[in-house]
Copies of this chain bind each other. A is one copy, B any other.
Amino acid sequence: MSNLAPPCGPGSALRSGREDSVFSTGPESIMARLVMKFGGTSVANIERIRNVAQHVKREVDAGNQVAVVVSAMSGKTNELVAWCREASVLHDAREYDAVVASGELVTAGLLAIALQDIGVQARSWQGWQIPILTDNAHGSARIESVDGSDIVKRFTEREEVAVIAGFQGVHKETGRVTTLGRGGSDTSAVAIAAAIGADRCDIYTDVDGVYTTDPRIVPKARKLEKVAFEEMLEMASLGAKVLQVRSVELAMVHKVRTFVRSSFDDPKNPTEGTLICDEEEIVEQQVITGIAFSRDEAQITLRRVADKPGVAAAIFVPLADANINVDMIIQVVSGDGAKTDITFTVPTAEYDRATAILGKAKEQIGFEAVEGATDVVKISAIGVGMRSHAGVAAKAFKALAEKGINIRAITTSEIKFSVLIDKDYTELAVRTLHSLYGLDKV
């Protein structure tokens, strides 16, 4: 996302102008510019869309300049995807995008109508009208630039709310409609926020914030007041489904202060949600901020691989060529020293393809047997505090061992560690780590 061009032209000029004037000290500084994003369940029907309009009205009445980003009404995208599949299993990604992006157009128009109905000036924007320019990776395109100038101009000249169809853009050269992948509306929202120089980006969803872990598994999970961008990025990558990974990357690069909050609150009296922000904004930093888990892991072990140079390449290059994403890798020397066991994980959906590919390359790699397990889970603990604290992970290994939980693999990075364990122990392990690092609600 680092290649998102800075906004240029009149929009940029206006923004700078505003920052110089309104955001100087003085009474006008109450006014803010913000992006509000509403997902599928928040706009599931006209009644819910009216509710969203009330959320928007609250911010407009407070004197704010508002751009709203919407997803398709829940169920609509799935319907469109199903039709594409029915028309052809090997459907053209460009046509798929043209079909699937239509759902957001509907919501954007309907929300603009609902806003006008309660006296709020509003107009809808389709991706190509702004335009939101992307590369040509149809189905999971990356935003390259957003021209926020017209939107900002209309904030100032007409006090008009911009209602933007999320999830989509248009290819910079062909002019064909692109989509940003599942959850792409989050990315649209953050990109718009960056382009119009928004003070914050509010992601309204069906949960009221980011939790220390999944509250369905750990009733003592706490809502976090603030999470650092880096932490949120790890959480999103490691299984927390609250935000699309790319939206967090983009927020981090452009330093967009992003709130995750609930659209199911009373629009007149909403709760604050969780702020995703720069590490420096978080005064009392915990060592560990959250525990994530992903059941989408399968383990593959190659037994008695010849321990010689080039063997890792022989294993992992064919998998990479097949677009199979390998995650955790560990290597254990066998008894006799000349052979080694290599264990790694792949997404569950790729397990069969991966073992088939390895089976074919058996001669070339040189191993005795391939073993695997899909009944495994990856548990991760994330926190920027790990940087300045030693022995954080070791404490976890001990606690899990005491509960009789066997660790199959470990990976660590500067701000997280992950363990692979038997799926049966998921809840026990998550609860154990949640308590261990003092995350339980008191």
The interface of chain A, by Cβ under 8 A from chain B, is 46, 49-50, 80, 83-84, 86-88, 90-92, 94-96, 98-99, 101-103, 105-106, 108-110, 112-114, 116-117, 123-124, 126, 128-129, 175-177
Q: How far is the CB of A90 from chain B (nearest CB, A)?
A: 7
Known: A49-B87, A102-B102, A177-B126. A95 touches B117 (CB 8 A): no
Given known A-B contacts A102-B105, A117-B90, A110 and B83 have beta carbons under 8 A apart: yes
Question: How many copies of this kind of chain does the complex include?
Answer: 2
List 26 A-B pairs, Cβ < 8 Å: A46-B83, A49-B87, A50-B87, A80-B106, A84-B110, A87-B110, A87-B117, A88-B113, A88-B116, A88-B117, A90-B117, A91-B117, A95-B109, A95-B110, A95-B123, A98-B108, A98-B112, A99-B106, A99-B109, A102-B103, A102-B105, A102-B106, A126-B177, A128-B128, A129-B175, A129-B176
Tell me which residues across on chain B come within 8 A of A50, comparing CB atoms.
Answer: 87
| Across-interface contacts of A175 in B (CB, < 8 A) | 129
A contact patch SS = helix
Which residues of the partner chain B approach A99 to less than 8 Å between Cβ atoms?
Answer: 105-106, 109-110, 113
CA of A106 to CA of B99, assembled, Å:
5
A91 to B49, CA, bound (A): 14
Question: Would you call A87 and B108 a contact (CB within 8 A)?
Answer: no
Enumerate chain B residues within 8 angstroms of A86, measured Cβ to Cβ.
Answer: 46
**Whole-angstrom distance from the CB of A418 to the nearest CB of chain B?**
40
> Once the chains are docked, how many angstroms separate the CA of A84 from the CA of B92?
31
CB within 8 A of A116: which of B49, B92, B102, B177?
B92
Q: Are B98 and A83 in contact (CB under 8 A)?
A: no
A280 → chain B, closest Cβ, in Å? Answer: 42
Extra contacts besides A94-B123, A99-B109, A128-B128 (15): CB < 8 Å: A46-B83, A49-B87, A83-B110, A84-B113, A87-B110, A87-B113, A88-B113, A91-B113, A95-B116, A95-B123, A98-B105, A99-B110, A101-B105, A102-B102, A129-B175
The answer to whether A98 touches B87 (Cβ under 8 A) is no
A123 to B95 alpha-carbon distance, docked (Å): 7
Contact of A113 among B96, B101, B129 (CB under 8 A): B96
Max chain B Cβ within 10 angstroms of own Cβ: one of A87, A90, A112: A87
Q: How far is the CB of A32 from chain B (nearest CB, A)?
A: 26
Q: How far is the CA of A126 from the CA of B126 in the complex (A)?
A: 12
A407 to B144, CA, bound (A): 70
A128: chain B residues at CB < 8 Å are 128
- In the complex, A88→B113 CA distance in Å? 6
- Measured between beta carbons, the chain B residues less than 8 angstroms from A96 are 109, 113
With the chains together, A123 CA to B105 CA distance in Å? 20
**9 nearest A-B pairs in the assembled complex, by CB-CB distance:** A99-B109, A88-B117, A98-B109, A87-B113, A102-B102, A46-B86, A95-B109, A91-B113, A102-B105
- What's the nearest-Cβ distance from chain B to residue A97, in Å? 8
A80 CA to B106 CA in the complex, in Å?
8
The smallest C-beta distance from A99 to any residue of chain B, in angstroms, reads 4
Q: Which residues of B contact A109 (CB under 8 A)?
A: 84, 95-96, 98-99
Closest-by-CB residue of B relative to A128 is B128
List chain B residues, Cβ under 8 A from A49. Answer: 87
Query: A98 CB to closest chain B CB, in angstroms?
Result: 4
| Among candidates B95, B108, B129, residue contacting A112 with C-beta atoms closer than 8 Å | B95
> Looking across the interface, which residue of chain B has its beta carbon closest to that of A112?
B95
What is the CB-to-nearest-CB distance from A147 to chain B, in angstroms, rounded to a whole number?
13
In the assembled complex, the Cα of A109 lies from the Cα of B124 at a distance in Å of: 22
Q: Is the Cβ of A87 less than 8 Å from the Cβ of B46?
A: yes
Complex Cα–Cα for A88 and B363 (A) = 69
Q: Are A112 and B84 in contact (CB under 8 A)?
A: no
Who on chain B is nearest to A46 by CB? B86
> Which B-chain residue is minimally distant from A86 (CB atoms)?
B46
Q: How far is the CB of A318 from chain B (nearest CB, A)?
A: 30
Contact A98 B124 (CB under 8 A): yes
